[in-house]
């Protein structure tokens, strides 16, 4: 196993092998043991380092990519950052079409990492020429020698997690895992991890986390794509207004939907209770555990693993900004305790 004291050839050697950290407070009201796979320990601070490195290396192996070529992707930010990081080390140009829902911090980070960024409107349908899918497709056809990663429709996204996240969790829990709780955006993380884990033990329960305003949960239950389910929501990277082929619905037992507001408060609570500064979807995943726990779903010997996909620093202008929380009305129904934790000396 790689260790902090070791010396590495470049930053890419640090991708994966993230820690599993016991949650001592967040689920202490429920029976069972709860652990978080904390993906912010990747060098690009998210689980997307795994797919960026894996997909690009597969393309290299197949002779599709050579240095100087361009890599194109649609991304809510994290995948873009990871592709940009891999591109720097491996000598590719990186072009990213991102949703306008992405935080300003994320977009600035992508530029800092050398990417050319196109910001596309979030609330248009996927087949609109302004959507980030259509913009990426157009750029792919225009730029010679370009590769389109297409994470929502790329089987390699699933394979990357099957090859790394799944085995890591199996080994770290010494095969004791009983439940996997993970957010579903492209679905690559949950599908690949679940596929590996269920091959080891088919009894493991796999619970996907979806957003209100996304079609994923209903599609899983009914196989119906219901446009009525679609409306704008604030969590980035979770849920979808289309059905990604990078989601293997058969590996997932059920989906739980969470709200923007509860997920934001839960993310803040993770920082305050566990000392873990994680992103909005980590709050969403933990919120799903809370909802399941309140239904009495966990038993004494259960070993629940939740994936925390990224780092909190990416949300400073969103859920970790009291101003933003207030603007969303997220402090309306509760005592704004966070506002009182700063005292201004005059
Ligand atoms: N959380 C965040 C912050 C993300 O960016 C993503 C990716 N869209 C996810 C969760 C979901 O991961 P996946 O795409 O593998 O389903």
What number of helices (H) and strands (E) belong to the chain?
A: 11, 10
With a 6 Å cutoff on the Cβ, whether 78 touches ligand 1 is yes
Return all residues near 321 (Cβ < 8 A) that are at least 6 apart. none
With a 6 Å cutoff on the Cβ, whether 75 touches ligand 1 is no
How do residues 76-115 score in pLDDT, each as one tens digit?
688 999 999 999 999 999 999 988 877 787 889 899 999 9
With a 6 Å cutoff on the Cβ, whether 49 touches ligand 1 is no
Going from the Cα of 183 to the center of ligand 1, the distance in angstroms, rounded, reads 7
pTM reported for the whole predicted model? 0.93
Share of the chain above pLDDT 90, in %: 83
186, 211, 234, 280: residue to mutate for ligand 1 pocket, most atoms within 8 A of CB: 186
The reported pLDDT for the residue numbered 154 is: 96
Burial letters for 116-129: b for 16+ Cβ neighbours within 10 Å, e otherwise? ebbbbebebeeeee
3-class secondary-structure state, position 49: helix
Strand partners, 38: 308
Its sign, for the CA torsion 302, 31, 41, 68, is positive
Q: Are the C-beta atoms of residues 263 and 178 closer than 8 Å to each other? A: no
Known active-site residue 48? yes
How do residues 155-213 score in pLDDT, each as one tens digit?
999 999 999 999 999 999 999 999 999 999 999 999 999 999 999 999 999 999 999 99
The reported pLDDT for the residue numbered 39 is: 98
Q: Are the C-beta atoms of residues 190 and 217 closer than 8 Å to each other? A: no
Bigger pLDDT: 36 vs 6: 36
The reported pLDDT for the residue numbered 336 is: 61
Widest distance between CA atoms in the chain = 64
With a 6 Å cutoff on the Cβ, whether 74 touches ligand 1 is no
Going from the Cα of 186 to the center of ligand 1, the distance in angstroms, rounded, reads 7
Nearest C-alpha to atom 3 of ligand 1 is from which residue?
Answer: 237
The reported pLDDT for the residue numbered 340 is: 59
pLDDT tier at 10 (50, 70, 90 boundaries)? very high
**Average pLDDT of span 247-257:** 98
Nearest C-alpha to atom 2 of ligand 1 is from which residue?
Answer: 237
Bigger pLDDT: 232 vs 221: 221
Interstrand relation of 93-99 and 179-183 (parallel, antiparallel or unpaired): unpaired
pLDDT tier at 1 (50, 70, 90 boundaries)? very low
């Amino acid at each position: 196993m790689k260790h902090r004291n070791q010396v590495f050839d470049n930053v890419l050697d640090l991708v994966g092998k993230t820690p599993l950290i016991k949650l001592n407070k967040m689920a202490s009201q429920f029976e069972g043991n709860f652990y978080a796979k904390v993906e912010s320990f990747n060098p690009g601070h998210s689980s997307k380092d795994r797919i960026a490195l894996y997909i690009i290396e597969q393309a290299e192996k197949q002779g599709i990519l050579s240095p100087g070529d361009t890599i194109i992707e649609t991304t809510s930010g994290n995948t873009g950052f990871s592709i940009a990081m891999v591109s720097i080390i491996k000598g590719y140009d990186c072009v990213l079409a991102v949703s306008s829902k992405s935080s300003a911090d994320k977009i600035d980070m992508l530029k800092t990492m050398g990417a050319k960024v196109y910001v596309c409107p979030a609330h248009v349908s996927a087949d609109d020429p302004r959507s980030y899918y259509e913009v990426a497709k157009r750029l792919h056809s225009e730029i010679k020698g370009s590769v389109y990663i297409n994470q929502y429709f790329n089987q390699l996204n699933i394979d990357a997690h099957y090859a790394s996240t799944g085995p890591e969790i199996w080994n770290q829990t010494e095969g004791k895992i009983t439940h996997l709780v993970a957010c579903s955006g492209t679905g690559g993380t949950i599908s690949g991890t679940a596929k590996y884990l269920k091959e080891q033990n088919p009894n493991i329960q796999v619970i996907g986390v979806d957003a209100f305003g996304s079609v994923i949960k209903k599609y899983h239950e009914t196989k119906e794509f219901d446009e009525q389910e679609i409306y704008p929501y604030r969590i980035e990277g979770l849920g979808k207004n289309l059905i990604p082929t990078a989601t293997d619905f058969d590996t997932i037992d059920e989906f739980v939907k969470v709200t923007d507001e509860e997920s934001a408060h839960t993310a803040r609570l993770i920082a305050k209770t566990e000392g873990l500064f994680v992103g909005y979807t980590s709050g969403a995943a933990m919120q799903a555990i809370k909802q399941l726990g309140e239904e009495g779903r966990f038993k004494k010997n259960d070993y629940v693993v939740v994936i925390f996909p990224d780092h909190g620093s990416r949300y400073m202008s969103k859920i970790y900004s009291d101003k933003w929380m207030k603007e969303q009305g997220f402090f309306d129904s509760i005592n704004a305790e966070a506002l009182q934790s700063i005292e201004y000396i005059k």
